[in-house]
Amino acid sequence: MPSKGQHPAPRLIPALASLPRPLYARAESLHAGSWTPRHQHDWVQFSYAISGVLGVYTAEGSYFAPPQWGVWVPAGVEHEVITSTRAEMRSLYVRREDALWAEPRCRVLEVTPLARELIKQFCLFAVDYPEGDSPEAHVVQVLLDQLQVLPEVSFSLPLPQHPRLLELCNDLLEHPEQQHNLGHWAERMGRSQKTVMRLFQRETGLSFRAWRQRMRLLSSLDALQAGHSVTEAALGCGYDSTSAYIAAFKGLFGATPGELFRN
C-alpha cells in the first residue's frame, strides 16, 4: 500500500473558498510518494490517472484508480490522495449544486473515451471560461451529463468500523503477502471463526476471503505500474501461482495485468 514516508512533503491543496464556475480543472504531474493531508471541501472531486495509480483513502474505505479510471469523492467527505509511483492526474471539481444527481458515497468510475476527450478539452479552458450560450458552456454541460453515466467498477476496499476488525484489516493492508487464515485472526481476536466471519460480512459487505483477494489484487497495482513482472507482483501480494493471480486479476479488473497497463 502507498506510504507517505516515500515523499515527506505533502502536495498543496488549492486555497479556494468557492468554485468560480460549475466546473474547475486541475492537472498535475505527481512524484512517486506524493500525498495530500487529510482534508475535505465543499464541492465534489473527480480525479483520474492518465498514468500511474491513484489511491484515495477515507474513513469508510480505500479507492484505487488505475490508468483511465477515476475516483468520485462527494462534497464534505474527508479524504487523502496518495500515489506510490509517478502519476499524471486530472481532477475535476464540481459545484455541489451541479451534482445533486450523484450518490453521496465515494465510487470508482470508468472514464469512457468520450469523457476522457471532454476532460482533455475542458482542461484547456480558462478558469473563468464564458458562461451562458458559449461553446465552452456547452462542452461543460455535455461533460456534466457524461459524468452522470460513467459506469461504476469494484476497485474499492471497504473498511470495517469495529475496532478489532479494523486492526486486523490494517495488519493485512501492511502485509498483503501473509498467509494466515481466518482461524488465526479469530483466535487473535478471542472470537469464534463463525462470529468473525459474520462480523466481517456485516461490516464490509464482503466475505473475509473476497475482501482479502480484492485487497491483494489492489495492492499489486503499484508494483505493476512500477514495471515489476507479473510474477513479482503476484508473489508480493501473497499469490503462489502466477496463473491464479492473472485469473483473479482479470475477474476484478476485466483485463490481464499486461492488458490493463498497456492500454
Q: What is the pLDDT of residues 44-87, one digit of tens each?
A: 999 988 888 888 999 889 999 888 899 999 999 999 988 877 78
Considering the domain delimited by 161-262, tell me its CATH architecture. Orthogonal Bundle (1.10)
Span(s) in the chain for CATH 2.60.120.280: 4-153
The reported pLDDT for the residue numbered 37 is 84
How many Cα atoms sit within 13 Å of 187 on the Cβ side? 5
Q: Which of 41-45, 50-54, 117-121 has the lowest mean pLDDT?
A: 50-54
Task: List, by residue range, all CATH 1.10.10.60 domains of the chain.
Answer: 161-262
What span, in angstroms and rounded, lies between the C-alpha atoms of 233 and 126? 42
Say what the pLDDT of residue 4 is: 45
How far the first Cα of the chain sits from its last, in Å, is 23
pLDDT score recorded for residue 262: 73
Best CA proximity match to 22, nearest among 138, 121, 117, 171: 138
Q: Which residues of 151-174 are buried (b: 16+ CB within 10 A; e: fewer)?
A: eebebbbebbebeebeebbeebee
Domain 4-153 in CATH 3.90.320.10? The answer is no
Residue 46 has which C-alpha cell? 473527480
Question: Quick check: 3 pLDDT over 50?
Answer: no
pLDDT of residue 2: 45
